[in-house]
A and B are shown apart, each in its own frame.
Chain A
């Protein structure tokens, strides 16, 4: 395909098509629902000679990411994709990839974790991997999956970043839903994404030792540098997003505001639920209720300052998590947003709404119930509960 055109692609296909245009050298992956379509399409591209890459059909996700680490350390542009149990199996190697500062890009089709076995969507997988040192971008639809897969390579490989990136989309809801995706031409992608320029590859001419022993006398400094680099990457990510917006007429930010003008309460979402939430906001607004929506696109690094700024004028924030951090304050997003806002002078109340577990639908009515709850809190100026599970049968839950 030469010219950019609108293609009918589901989320997985959008990821695969974007990856093809990014010309990776090595892909190592293991099939898992609902990511499978990605590896199938990429295998086809390689088999048909449309993509000149080595495709390693690894015998596990642990080995898939390990192979990516080896390949990326050689200086190759490297990609993998997984979901759920697969990401959990990779867990150990996630830390290694980011600590080696390897710009691996990984798509995750978000899926619940066993047990009981559940192939449907929630974010237990990537939320559980939030402290692994990877950049995490969450996408609402196939178009975003396409656009951010391309940007992910550019972000990861930027010498001011050099961190692996997870590009997340909700399993089935996005991965298997076909949409019209406005694609770029191959040459447009080429102009946006130059070939990788590796910094310290494994090279016989210039031997390096990667993955040494770090005793307590050195380990903290090494981790501190990693923390500084991860924090610093926010400005680079914004810069690259802006460049993409300008080049290709998009309008992306690390946080998206929807009808936030004069909003007294805000719903904060991540991923595909944002679309449904926007409908709910529209309905509330027609009724004259001051409800707005904030969609978080970048979860790692957490854009603390941007969150504070975006939420400085609201009285209540309802954070909609798509997983539960057992025994804590609902979901991770809720806890982190609360923590981020805590030191604000006139901080809003923050309540969590874990929902959509294991593929349970989140509907407009759920968001309306959430917004009503938020409006009540605004009126009382008091939070009675830290969180309530939504879309679930059980005492204290907000209906199924």
Chain B
């Protein structure tokens, strides 16, 4: 598989209203390139949803439904069940892939229950969580995906409290605990890795889960041209390792040749500005480094163990 051999179709058409440099547009476009025919998409309330469907326009060349924020797993379950019944009863001819799309708020936080229920029941569907680490649609509020020390409007870098005080929720562990056939992390900065993983989700016999890091220039306080670069730095610092869990087997798909210090990822981002100015908070940076090192070690151990 080569980049040039990817299908030419654009199921998410140009002209949508996502911000310049938004990671979501790039990520979802790449994700849809893995499909030979349009999937049936259910989308959670999110930046992606509002920016692609301002009535009377739509950017979607696929069947697409957005009922609400927290129910993507459940709606996907309903679509899957309906297809099963309709095909069995001869009222639908062909199976179409069911694709759930939701952001970090709609997955880590408010949508976690619906996702868990759908994974437990084993519906055949793909769930993609595109995370930009906060509630960006409502104006940059903290979510369970927000990294420690990051500034958001509800975890401000104040005179006393330096941004978010908690670690990011390890969503992949929660998903993997459901013993589903396939789960993986992806980044649009590694397009072929993303393609390989997406194709595996389509083949999976049961629920498949993808966690995609999607840099957000507005919320991360970064220039739009850095989006792809930040994705690379997230992987190379091991802040966001690329790996997959296939039938319980862990595999790290992108091992950085040289693991970069987390500072490389933190420094270009305005949301971490208070760690570097007016004076460098080495204590917090070291704490983050230690946490990342620990998680990275743990991931490698899991790879060896499984």
Residues of A at the B interface (CB closer than 8 Å) are: 25-26, 28, 52-54, 56-60, 62-64, 66-76, 78, 92-93, 96, 100, 195, 202-204, 207-215, 218, 222
A62–B67 Cα distance when bound, in Å, is 12
At the interface, yes or no: B253 with Cβ under 8 Å from chain A? no
Measured between alpha carbons, how far is A211 from B48 in the docked complex, in Å?
13
Q: Beyond the given A66-B74, A66-B114, A210-B66, please list 20 additional residue pairs across the A-B interface where CB-CB is below 8 A.
A: A25-B89, A28-B78, A54-B81, A54-B85, A63-B77, A66-B68, A69-B71, A70-B76, A75-B91, A92-B68, A202-B79, A204-B62, A204-B96, A207-B60, A209-B60, A209-B64, A212-B58, A213-B50, A213-B55, A218-B56
Chain B positions within 8 Å of A64 at CB level: 74
* Count of inter-chain pairs, beta carbons less than 8 A: 160
Q: Which of B19-27, B36-44, B267-275 contacts A (4 or more CB under 8 A)?
A: B36-44
The CA-CA distance from A53 to B89 in the complex, in Å, is 9
Pair A70/B38 contact, Cβ less than 8 Å: no
Partner of A60, one of B62, B84, B85, B113: B113
Listed in ascending order, the chain B residues whose CB lies under 8 Å from chain A are 37-38, 40, 42-43, 49-50, 53-56, 58, 60-68, 70-71, 73-79, 81-86, 88-89, 91-92, 94, 96, 113-114, 116-118, 120-121
CA distance A73 to B42 in the complex (A): 11
Sample 29 A-B pairs with CB under 8 A, ordered by A number.
Answer: A26-B82, A28-B81, A52-B89, A59-B113, A59-B120, A60-B117, A62-B71, A63-B74, A64-B74, A67-B78, A69-B75, A70-B65, A70-B74, A70-B75, A72-B82, A73-B79, A74-B79, A74-B83, A75-B86, A78-B82, A93-B67, A202-B64, A204-B63, A209-B64, A209-B65, A211-B53, A212-B55, A212-B66, A218-B56
CB–CB B121/A57 < 8 A: yes
- Among residues of A, the one whose C-beta sits closest to the C-beta of B117 is A59
CB of B211, distance to nearest CB on chain A (Å): 21
Could you tell me the distance between the alpha carbons of A77 and B165 in the complex, rounded to whole angstroms?
A: 48
With a CB–CB cut-off of 8 A, which chain B residues contact A75? 82, 86, 91-92
Closest 6 CB pairs of A and B: A70-B78, A59-B117, A67-B78, A66-B71, A63-B74, A211-B66
C-alpha gap A73/B80 in the complex (Å)? 11
CB distance from A316 to the nearest CB of B (A): 45
A218 near B55 with CB under 8 A, answer yes
